[in-house]
């Protein structure tokens, strides 16, 4: 449903870069040539043009555009040249600096982007502003706005189509109860809106309408002067029918052109390569006039139409990869626009065109990068990937404080897979061989072993390990063989099923993983359980574990909060305590020992061992050896680096 027209055949990116350079030469800038190129290239193509421009001229295309262009035309071209993630980061940052009305921009980004898109925007925000998006949103909002916006912007919703109708009926009733009681900021209401998948929410909203006789948005319109209530209703509409939300934004913006072109510009720029055709249909249905005609009715509208094609990627690339000077030039939107130069781009962007589906983008990108003529540096060295990853443990950049000992030279993954298959044959399983292989391979190597095993025997290594091993040894081997993301997803899911003490495991994962690791764990949770991690955590926790700090010093919540702070500050002290308590009560709770060793062996186990020795005057190796036995003991000792690889 994109509206941007990209020719079926486009020049090589280095040729586009050359033409853009020519457009800057002479007495005046050739704006028509800039429009002809940039307004008719998709995101991947514009990125390659920028790369080729930098390679050929050792200059930043964005800086040159910034220097050569002026006024609103400059702004639209710069915005369009950005990537979607950079653009969202820029929009969000600008919104945090402005008045309460800008809360709508934060909400819009949070509710209309996919989980992956929202994560990329947060990464771009990190890179550009050296802070997290969520911390800035939390800092610049207060009260109910903060209570709603922070969960929305940090959400990582499940993106599948699976729906639990029983849950939909139950949560529709919860929503109706809270809205009837005017408890619009209730934590249960916010939990449902901010964590459930869009498919699940649609089922919930449909049941709300069918069972209670009103659309949920209508029931929220009872107090039209309440800004928070308006924002909550808009969030629900964004999640349910984004085209209706954006149609309304466009309609209101067009009505007051000359004072609020920014909303029109923002919507066209961010939706031109997403769902602008659907928005145009909704606009026509609602207003009995086409969006093209409505925009063309105002002189500045042509410029804004230009933004429609150009801005989708302008803002993105701008936020991360470009100079502060260029980004500052975008500034806050002016009150008035006079875009006469932009008419061609405007029509180019708003007219119906080729749908920008991912396959086409990839094909064009491939076409761009193949070809001997291209002057761009080829950084995609894909040959011998397996050899590079498997036989060069140093390339995995193991942290210095990891305890796992990986030999300098290891067999090929298919050879390890063969040896593991042999370990399962005969009257008994060869546990020693399993330890010798798996306990001395890093994450990337274990993944390749699993892949080779599956390819060679059409079987799942994890299932075979599960069938052949038993007890605590089975548990530690299975946990270790999982990827870190799969492991965290499994641990988190197990924690949501258990008693309140398992809140500690959720906290541990959240506070000791970096942002990328936590993102991968959430992706793995999606893939495995067909739900989002945060919706399960929210659903299975209650009361103070979702609220602010309370003052009872004996409260279990306060203990978890203190542990969270220690995890963030000195994780080795936290894990030392978990190990110490786990070893003291072995026989009833080996799980803590297994979990910590399996999750920290490739991270900071050496530091944890040092802290354990300092605190207990005995080495961790000796403590484990004194309280465990057999293959379980040998596997644990191998993982914490006891003995030679």
Q: How far apart are CA 279 and CA 247, in angstroms?
A: 6
How would DSSP label each residue in 495-528? HHHS-GGGHHHHHHHHHHS-HHHHHHHHHHHHHH
Contact (CB, 8 A) for 265 and 305: no
Residues in the annotated binding site for Ca(2+): 24, 26, 28, 68, 254, 256, 258, 296, 298-299
Residue 21, judged by CB atoms within 10 A of its CB (0-12, 13-18, 19+), counts as middle
Cβ neighbors of 75 (< 8 A, separation 6 or more) are 329, 330
DSSP3 helix / strand / coil % (the chain, rounded to 5): 70, 0, 30
- Classify residue 201 by burial, with Cβ atoms within 10 Å: 0-12, 13-18, 19+: buried
The residue among 293, 307, 299, 298 whose CA lies nearest residue 339 is 299
Rounded CA-CA distance 234/220 in Å is 10
Burial 395-417 (b: 16+ CB within 10 A, else e): ebeeeebbbbebeeebbebbebb
Alpha-carbon separation of residue 633 from 272, 312, 437, 606 (angstroms):
59, 56, 16, 18
Closest CA to 185 of 232, 251, 234: 232
Task: Using the structure block, give the residue that is written with the tokens 């920008």.
Answer: 356
Total residue length of the chain:
645
Annotated binding site: 24, 26, 28, 68, 254, 256, 258, 296, 298-299
Taking a C-beta distance cutoff of 8 angstroms, is the pair 268, 305 a contact? yes
| Residues whose CB is less than 8 angstroms from the CB of residue 584 and which lie 6 or more positions away in sequence, other chains included | none
Residue 479 corresponds to which tokens in the numbers above?
Answer: 């946990």
Give the C-alpha distances (Å, rounded to integers) separating 444 from 35, 411, 441, 468, 531.
45, 14, 8, 24, 26
């Amino acid at each position: 449903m994109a509206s941007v027209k990209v020719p079926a055949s486009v020049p090589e990116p280095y040729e586009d870069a050359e033409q853009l350079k020519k457009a800057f030469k002479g007495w005046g800038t050739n704006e028509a040539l800039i429009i002809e190129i940039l307004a008719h290239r998709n995101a991947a193509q514009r990125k390659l043009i920028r790369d080729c421009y930098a390679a050929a001229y050792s200059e930043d295309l964005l800086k040159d555009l910034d220097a050569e262009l002026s006024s609103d035309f400059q702004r639209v071209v710069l915005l369009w040249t950005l990537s979607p993630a950079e653009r969202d980061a820029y929009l969000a940052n600008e919104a945090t600096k402005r008045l309460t009305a800008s809360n709508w921009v934060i909400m819009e980004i949070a509710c209309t982007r996919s989980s992956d898109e929202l994560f990329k925007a947060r990464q771009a925000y990190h890179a550009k502003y050296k802070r997290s998006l969520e911390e800035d949103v939390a800092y610049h909002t207060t009260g109910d706005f903060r209570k709603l916006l922070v969960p929305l912007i940090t959400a990582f919703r499940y993106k599948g189509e699976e729906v639990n109708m029983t849950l939909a009926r139950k949560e529709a009733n919860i929503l109706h109860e809270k809205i009837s009681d005017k408890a619009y900021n209730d934590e249960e209401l916010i939990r449902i809106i901010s964590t459930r998948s869009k498919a699940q929410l649609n089922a919930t909203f449909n049941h709300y309408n069918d069972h209670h006789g009103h659309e949920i948005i209508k029931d929220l319109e009872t107090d039209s002067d309440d800004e928070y209530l308006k924002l909550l209703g808009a969030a629900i509409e964004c999640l349910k029918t984004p085209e209706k939300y954006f149609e309304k934004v466009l309609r209101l913006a067009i009505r007051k052109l000359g004072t609020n072109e920014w909303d029109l510009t923002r919507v066209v720029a961010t939706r031109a390569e997403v769902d602008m055709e659907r928005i145009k249909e909704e606009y026509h249905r609602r207003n009995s006039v086409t969006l093209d005609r409505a925009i063309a009715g105002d002189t500045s509208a042509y410029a804004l139409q230009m933004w429609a094609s150009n801005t989708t990627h302008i803002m993105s690339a701008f936020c991360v990869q470009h100079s502060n000077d260029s980004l500052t030039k975008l500034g806050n939107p002016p009150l008035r626009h006079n875009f006469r130069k932009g008419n061609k781009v405007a029509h180019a962007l708003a007219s119906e065109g080729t749908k920008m589906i991912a396959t086409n983008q990839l094909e064009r990108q491939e076409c761009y990068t193949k070809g001997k003529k291209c002057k761009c540096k080829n950084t995609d060295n894909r040959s011998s990937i397996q050899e590079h990853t498997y036989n060069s443990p140093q390339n995995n950049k193991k942290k210095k404080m990891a305890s796992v000992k990986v030999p300098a030279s290891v067999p090929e993954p298919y050879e390890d897979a063969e040896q593991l298959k042999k370990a399962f044959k005969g009257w008994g399983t060869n546990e020693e061989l399993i330890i010798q292989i798996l306990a001395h391979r890093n994450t990337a190597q274990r993944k390749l072993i699993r892949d080779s095993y599956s390819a060679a025997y059409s079987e799942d290594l994890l299932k075979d390990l599960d069938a052949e091993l038993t007890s605590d040894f089975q548990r530690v081997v299975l946990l270790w063989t999982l990827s870190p993301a799969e492991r965290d997803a499994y641990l988190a899911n197990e924690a949501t099923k258990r008693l309140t003490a398992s809140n500690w495991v959720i906290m541990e994962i959240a506070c000791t993983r970096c942002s990328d690791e936590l993102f991968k764990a959430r992706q793995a949770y999606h893939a495995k359980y067909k739900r989002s991690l945060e919706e399960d955590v929210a659903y299975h926790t209650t009361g103070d574990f979702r609220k602010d700090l309370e003052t009872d010093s004996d409260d279990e919540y306060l203990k978890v909060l203190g542990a969270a702070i220690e995890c963030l500050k000195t994780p080795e002290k936290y894990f030392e305590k978990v190990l110490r308590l786990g070893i003291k009560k072995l026989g009833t709770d080996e799980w803590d020992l297994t979990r910590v060793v399996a999750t920290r062996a490739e991270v900071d186990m050496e530091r944890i061992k040092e802290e354990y020795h300092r605190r207990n005057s005995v080495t961790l190796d000796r403590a484990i050896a004194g309280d465990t036995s057999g293959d379980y003991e040998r596997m644990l000792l191998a993982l914490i680096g006891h003995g030679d690889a």
